[in-house]
Amino acid sequence: MISIRDFNLWYGEFQALKGVTLDIPKNRATAFIGPSGCGKSTLLRTFNRMCDFVPAVRTEGAIEVAGRDIFSGDANELRVRVGMVFQHPNPFPMSIRDNILYGPRRMRRLGRAEADELAERCLRDAGLWDEVRDKLGQSGLGLSGGQQQRLCIARALATQPEVLLMDEPTSALDPISTALVEELMVQLARERTVVVVTHNMQQATRVADKTAFFYLGELVESGPTKQLFGNPVQQKTKDYLTGRFS
């Protein structure tokens, strides 16, 4: 689904990604792991060109999503196809219903019935419907942290993205909310491509079909999650997984 070929990225003089080549499979969950500062979030944010917002970013190499070069088309159109959920839940200051409808309404007019149906479907897909069905008109900011994150997932699903990017989506959540979001990732990856950055290695083993390990801007090793954790090829991966450095 995502093809990355010899990709390099610089913030000014500093090279944050070095010669990364990786394939991300369609309708599977892929995890990016590695120590802080190794470039996981940078690569994730490149997939929907969030890096465009950072001045002095320069890239070399190729990234395609579903066979299309991400750098040559319109970035807003790309962001409809490649949705994103952030580390800290960030509902917009508006009702639960309007949070979901925000993206689709920017693309076209929605009738009342269609809007209701879309809001319900996204909230169901994000596992939140039963908790909010009676308060769709209330502010999204009034929900608990875990509910807010599932609202953000529902909002990201509203434009029917082919790819869902998740940048440490549970690091601000309690264990019960974390378990709910992890369950959701597994379900969502049945019908779309999910890429998740995580510091939690257990989380990678629970949710990801494929895992990629990064170190100092380079992709050290990638493969099926069971294989990478059970039988890593590179010494650097073994050292990281056994806690020799973090």
Ligand X SMILES: Nc1ncnc2c1ncn2[C@@H]1O[C@H](COP(=O)(O)OP(=O)(O)OP(=O)(O)O)[C@@H](O)[C@H]1O
Residue 124 or 199 having the CB closest to ligand X: 199
Q: Is 16 in the site for ligand X (CB under 6 A)?
A: yes
Q: Is 42 in the site for ligand X (CB under 6 A)?
A: yes
Strands 14-24 and 163-167 come out as: unpaired
Nearest distance, CB of residue 177 and ligand X, angstroms: 20
Q: Is 39 in the site for ligand X (CB under 6 A)?
A: yes
Nearest Cα neighbor of 165 from 91, 86, 218, 99 is 86
Nearest distance, CB of residue 165 and ligand X, angstroms: 12
Q: Is 177 in the site for ligand X (CB under 6 A)?
A: no
Q: Is 52 in the site for ligand X (CB under 6 A)?
A: no
Nearest distance, CB of residue 50 and ligand X, angstroms: 10
Nearest distance, CB of residue 205 and ligand X, angstroms: 18
How far is 118 from 96, CA to CA, in rounded Å?
12
Q: How many CB atoms lie within 10 A of CB 165?
A: 26
DSSP structure class, residue 140: G
Q: Is 128 in the site for ligand X (CB under 6 A)?
A: no
Q: Is 41 in the site for ligand X (CB under 6 A)?
A: yes
Residue span binding ligand X (CB under 6 A) among the ranges 40-48, 63-71, 74-82, 222-230: 40-48
Residue selected from 10, 11, 71, 102 as contacting ligand X according to rule CB under 6 A: 11
Nearest distance, CB of residue 132 and ligand X, angstroms: 30
Q: Which helix (H) or strand (E) holds 14?
A: strand 14-24
Residue selected from 5, 54, 183, 233 as contacting ligand X according to rule CB under 6 A: 54
Q: How many CB atoms lie within 10 A of CB 108?
A: 7
**Total residues in contact with ligand X, by rule CB under 6 A:** 13
What type of residue sits at position 194? V
- What does 102-134 look like in DSSP terms, one character per residue? HHHHHHS---HHHHHHHHHHHHHHTT-HHHHTT
Nearest distance, CB of residue 9 and ligand X, angstroms: 8
- Residues numbered 182 to 211 that lie near ligand X (CB under 6 A) are 197
Residue 33 or 189 having the CB closest to ligand X: 33
Q: How many CB atoms lie within 10 A of CB 48?
A: 22
What is the four-CA torsion angle of 159, 164, 165, 168, rounded to 10 degrees?
A: 110
Under DSSP, is residue 211 helix (H, G, I), strand (E, B) or coil? strand
Please say whether the beta carbons of 200 and 187 come within 8 A: no
Q: What is the CA radius of gyration of the chain?
A: 18
Q: Which residues bind ligand X (CB under 6 A)?
A: 11, 14, 16, 34, 36-42, 54, 197
